[in-house]
Amino acid sequence: MEEQNRISFHDQISSNKLKSFFLIIVVLLVLLILGFVIGQLMGPDYFTIIMIFSIVISIFYIWIGYYFSDKMALASVNAKPADEREYRNFHNIVEGLCLASGMPKPRLYVMNDNNINAFATGRDPKHAVICVTTGALEKLNKQELEGVLGHELSHIANFDIRFMTLTAVLVGMIAIVSQIFLRSLWFKGDNDNDNKGKAIFMLVGIILAILAPIVVQLVQLAISRKREYAADASSVKFIRSPTGLINALKKIKSEHLPPDKKINKAVAPLFISDPFKKNLDNLLSTHPPLEKRIEILERM
């Protein structure tokens, strides 16, 4: 069992860096294709302007997403910096885990939510953030909180945070552009003589605008589910015991509080547990079932 759960951090880091690069390229291409289609529909007088505008906006947004994705994720849940005096236990646990693992201490944040949850974000271990809910700080004992924070530090150590946060931010851009394109069709004039060519580009644009957000959501789900198992196993390596994380997941499973409506669905895959309580074993779940995660941890 120990051999089956063995994780190569170097392989994970290399894989996540490579996937992050390809993710940026794919999102850039999708945005440029949408810009091209919109340019064709608007006519030759506007095509060059729209393409230049699309390129500049796409590159600028990807740059913003890469360097400021952590701030965007924190702002989306209205998280506040964790004051060292008020949240001394939170800081002490993270400092101890970072010393033991040789990692730099991430910035710590707290979000106001009675549910037990936490997430990590950022572009690399030197620019990482861990955010926990007030519910986690109030309901988990030191050992359980240590297990949860070890899980989040695992995401940081193997660069999951870069790939997962970039996914959340960049796919949001695709959804926004798709909606803008679909809504712009209502205001489009029909003064061009080449109606057949326009109809083809319009059809391609509509199909792309509808399918892109759906495909992107499926990619998000696939990314999140697999990484939760790996981070659970890595947390056990950090803590040297699965007990704390097991008990924390059991407490999460037993909660029956309504989900926090303020959380943006785009950042749901970042959390240790699905904040919308849809933790079921199906293709549309952002997380693997808690029962399966607990079962695997209990065999470690």
Please identify every residue annotated as catalytic: 152
- Amino acid type, 232: D
Distance CA 186, CA 276 (A): 34
Distance CA 194, CA 180 (A): 24
How many CB atoms are located within 10 Å of the residue 286 CB? 22
- Non-local (6+) Cβ contacts of 226 within 8 A are none
Distances (CA, A) of 9 to 140, 141, 158: 28, 29, 6
Distances (CA, A) of 206 to 5, 106, 187, 200, 201: 44, 42, 15, 10, 9
Task: Report the relative pairing of strands 128-133 and 107-111 from DSSP bridges.
Answer: parallel
Closest CA to 251 of 133, 97, 109: 133
